[in-house]
A and B are shown apart, each in its own frame.
Chain A
Amino acid sequence: MSEQTGPLRRRVTIRNRAGLHARAASLVRDTVLKHRCRVTLIKAEDPSASLNGAPRADGTSVIEMLSLGAMEGEPLIIEAEGEEAQQVLDALERLVECKFWEDDFAPESQQTFPG
């Protein structure tokens, strides 16, 4: 078991077109629930600054995450505290980086026909 330290923070940038919408937020929640730690999403630029007053959302609450209204290109700071903080940050960063498995994978039936 790792030593309990203060919260870890990581800055990510939302990359999918629709932003942090319902399905994406529910994937975040699923990931958080698989780890032993508390996760907070904070809408701010700089992880080293004081984040008092910045909008924040509990990583297990889809509705709070939606309320952040995070859009494509916007930064988010993920804060994790607890035993598996490092692991959850890695997993969440990947999830954000791979655009919640969207965009490039719109099924053909949903794409506009360019031809």
Chain B
Amino acid sequence: MMRLQGIAVSPGIAIGKAVVIGQDIFSIPREYVEADAVEQEVARFREALQVAAREIENNRDLVTRELGPKSGAIFQAHLEILEDPKIREDVESLIRNRQYSSEKAASFVLRQFAEMFRRLPNPVIADRAYDVLDIERHLLRALLGQPHRSLYHLTSPAVVLARNLTPSEVANLDRKMVRGFATEVGGPTSHTAIVAQGMGIPAVVGTGPFLNEVSGGDIVIVDGDRGIVIVRPDESTLREYEEEMRAIRVFTTELEKLRDLPAETLDGTRINIYGNIEFPHEAALCLQNGAEGIGLYRTEFLYLGRNDLPSEEDHYRAYCEVVRIMGDRPVTIRTFDLGADKVPLQLGLEKEANPCLGLRSIRLALRYLPLFQTQLRAILRASVCGNVQIMFPMISTLAELRQAKLMLAEVMEDLAEGQIPFRREIPLGIMVEVPSVAVTIDRFLDEVDFISLGTNDLIQYTLAVDRTNRNVVNMYNATDPAVLRLIHHVIQEASRKGVPVSLCGQMSSHPLHTMLLIGLGLRKFSVAAHSILEIKKVCRSVTVEQCEALAKRALEMDHARDVQALLREQLIKLIPAFGRIM
């Protein structure tokens, strides 16, 4: 038995027979060209660039479709590096001045960059060496006219072991056959890791050299939770892992059976579970997991990573896509929640000393009305395609809410004048994420159709803790007594006035908090797509009475960590399988 510690990059356990793949060996048939053939060789290189670009584009589109834009962006970056003017310049100069063949020149230039990256102290950039090698392979394949390697045509399930797998190699792995993979090199921020997560394949990278000790067909365990690779495990280790896999499988199957069942407590109280999404394609996953609607559709992605502003059509298309997927289920679109340091440079906003307390979110929208109007128009236009609701983020005063509503009314008039259809009764709600609103929530409830607790900011503002600051992040606690009391107050007031209240912060996506929140009176959760089944599982395993008793005890405690310990103990007692993830 050989046990290696690497870096866990994609969760889950895989056990299977090893398929060891070596480095691609491209034999370069010709290293130099004749002096009078250099221009011809340059032309051949340019042609290969185009072929490789098309190949990468195809990869990008395929991966974006199947794994989402985050994985797709990796290949967009590859395309940009492939088309980098410097690479072209350097390769062509080697062909012209040293009479290198295209293969030799391209390989030389890209390997030189990869080597330079690898030596950099910045790990994020050092990991990019693998991307450059990926691009080198694409180019050499294009030059040599070679197809993909046969790895993609495995005939039986296997665990893939390699010195290195590039992002495109991982993206092209056969998901049905490859149970997991481990590589000798690679870092935690490698793009290979992101693609593996997107595909749901357990993976460990950076184990150090071990391939010489493995033969194809050896049994291998890849533990993508702990970053461990075990080659030729002994009897007891194998049994242990098989047992663990079985337990996970049983739990996963159990969860999957809940897809079409309601989130109903043992004593018959109906809980509603909605999904949070960031990108349109995530709506399908929410639906698949049985979400009753979208409780939070973040729209910031429309603004980020570009130098200009999204058009009304950009907004409209993104909204309609989600509405179409969700049918007549509610889709709650939150207007942009951007900070002054996040909006496109064109607005020329000044730098702020304290962005969290500055011109952000709804404040920014009310300051830059055209930006806001464009989005409101698109949401209203989308409202006739399905069940759209509109939600304003980070409201902190009544005046602000009224001003935003006025804006909405104006945009409605514009649309009506232009005879553009929209739904005038579109439900309107606010995020409750600033303590001032939580404390005076009764005043707001008369002026909105629904509210949604945004705990991420509510915690940050209540406890005065910046959760991105590593020096204080340990004070950021969803279970802090002050936070719990605010949440309790908001839910009670909303229930008293009959206004629907949901909770869409990260807090609701963690099963640890489910009982507590039910006990505090919450009946509508809006959670990340991958958490829906877990939350439903908790709902279906408890009684409201039990949850209320737990909430009562939690509200009497002095410290967040005591509350947390109590919640953990209760949850694991109820559903032991959660012990693994906590």
Binding site for B on A (CB under 8 A): 18-23, 26-27, 29-31, 34, 58, 60-64, 66-67, 69-71, 91, 94-95, 97-99, 101, 103-109, 111, 113-115
Complex Cα–Cα for A104 and B345 (A): 17
Q: By the criterion CB–CB under 8 Å, are B342 and A22 in contact?
A: no
Q: Which residue of A lies closest to B528 (CB)?
A: A109
Q: Which residue of B lies closest to A19 (CB)?
A: B122
Complex Cα–Cα for A27 and B18 (A): 41
Q: For A107, what are the chain B residues with a Cβ–Cβ distance below 8 Å?
A: 278, 298
Q: For B528, what are the chain A residues with a Cβ–Cβ distance below 8 Å?
A: 108-109
Which B451-504 residues sit within 8 Å CB-CB of chain A? 456, 467-468, 473-474, 476-479
Q: What 1/0 flags go to B497-517 for Cβ under 8 Å of A?
A: 000000000110010110000
Q: By the criterion CB–CB under 8 Å, are B86 and A66 in contact?
A: no
Complex Cα–Cα for A18 and B120 (A): 13
Q: By the criterion CB–CB under 8 Å, are B124 and A19 in contact?
A: yes
Q: For B116, what are the chain A residues with a Cβ–Cβ distance below 8 Å?
A: 67
A66-B125, A71-B122, A114-B477 known; A105 vs B304 contact (CB < 8 Å): yes
Which B411-459 residues sit within 8 Å CB-CB of chain A? 456
- Of B125, B300, B307, the most chain A CB neighbours within 10 A belong to B125
Distance in angstroms from A10 CB to nearest chain B CB is 15
23 contacts between A and B (CB under 8 A): A18-B124, A19-B122, A21-B125, A58-B86, A62-B81, A62-B84, A63-B81, A63-B132, A64-B84, A64-B86, A66-B113, A66-B117, A69-B121, A69-B126, A97-B341, A98-B342, A99-B341, A103-B468, A108-B456, A113-B506, A114-B473, A115-B479, A115-B564
Distance in angstroms from A81 CB to nearest chain B CB is 17
- Of B80, B121, B276, B507, the most chain A CB neighbours within 10 A belong to B80
For residue B339, CB closer than 8 A to chain A, the reply is: yes
Q: By the criterion CB–CB under 8 Å, are B113 and A67 in contact?
A: yes
For residue B305, CB closer than 8 A to chain A, the reply is: yes
Q: What 1/0 flags go to B96-118 for Cβ under 8 Å of A?
A: 00000000000000000100110
The 3 A-B residue pairs with the shortest CB-CB distance in the complex, in nearest-first order: A69-B120, A115-B478, A61-B86
A26-B77, A109-B278 known; A98 vs B341 contact (CB < 8 Å): yes
Complex Cα–Cα for A26 and B73 (A): 12
Distance in angstroms from B279 CB to nearest chain A CB is 9
Q: For A97, what are the chain B residues with a Cβ–Cβ distance below 8 Å?
A: 341, 351
Complex Cα–Cα for A52 and B151 (A): 48
Q: Which residue of B lies closest to A57 (CB)?
A: B86
Q: By the criterion CB–CB under 8 Å, are B128 and A22 in contact?
A: yes
Q: For B86, what are the chain A residues with a Cβ–Cβ distance below 8 Å?
A: 58, 61, 63-64
Distance in angstroms from B114 CB to nearest chain A CB is 10
- Pick the residue among A23, A63, A104 that contacts B339 (CB under 8 A): A104
Q: For B408, what are the chain A residues with a Cβ–Cβ distance below 8 Å?
A: none
Q: Which residue of B lies closest to A104 (CB)?
A: B468
For residue B87, CB closer than 8 A to chain A, the reply is: yes
A61-B84, A69-B121, A115-B564 known; A23 vs B341 contact (CB < 8 Å): no
Q: For A115, what are the chain B residues with a Cβ–Cβ distance below 8 Å?
A: 476-479, 506-507, 510, 512-513, 564
Complex Cα–Cα for A63 and B468 (A): 30
For residue B85, CB closer than 8 A to chain A, the reply is: yes
Q: By the criterion CB–CB under 8 Å, are B125 and A101 in contact?
A: no
Q: By the criterion CB–CB under 8 Å, are B345 and A91 in contact?
A: yes
Distance in angstroms from B10 CB to nearest chain A CB is 14
Distance in angstroms from B276 CB to nearest chain A CB is 8
Q: For B125, what are the chain A residues with a Cβ–Cβ distance below 8 Å?
A: 19-22, 66, 69
Distance in angstroms from B144 CB to nearest chain A CB is 23
Known: A103-B468, A108-B528, A111-B467. 8 other contacts (CB 8 A): A21-B128, A63-B87, A63-B132, A64-B86, A71-B121, A104-B468, A108-B506, A109-B528
Q: For B456, what are the chain A residues with a Cβ–Cβ distance below 8 Å?
A: 108
